Structure 1
Amino acid sequence: MTPVRASSRTVVPPPSRPAVTTIATTTVAECVAEVTDDVRFTGGRFVRASRRELSAWPAEYGLRL
């Protein structure tokens, strides 16, 4: 990695990142809904959800709590 001189400061480019590898997954028989790509079930959104939201989201997958 070679630093680049830009005006009066030295800028070091960020390290290159490795390519993202996609892992093939299979659905197990016990799985009733795939929510991996549903942003509502991610940490930040999930913990801030209201009781009403938490009850409604699974219903959209045909699940009842």
Structure 2
Amino acid sequence: MTQRERLTTAQAAQYLGLSQRQMERMRADGVGPIWFKAGDAINSPCMYEVTDLDVWARQRKGK
């Protein structure tokens, strides 16, 4: 099994050509790419899998 590449919010924003603030807003509004917390602590980072970012970007084409 290969490990999926995971990115922080800042890395995911750069990957998609968006600002980190846009990513945070979309996450809060529930309209952005699939994300997950990388731990149980309150300060655990939000992470994104590259495959989920690609799917989300493809779905947005033409909008």
Q: Same fold (TM over 0.5)?
A: no
RCO comparison, higher one (Cα < 8 Å, 6+): 2
More strand by share: 2
TM-score category, normalised to shorter length: under 0.3
Q: Normalising by the residue count of structure 1, what TM-score does the alignment of the two structures yield?
A: 0.27
Higher helix residue share: 2
Q: TM-score, normalised by structure 2?
A: 0.27
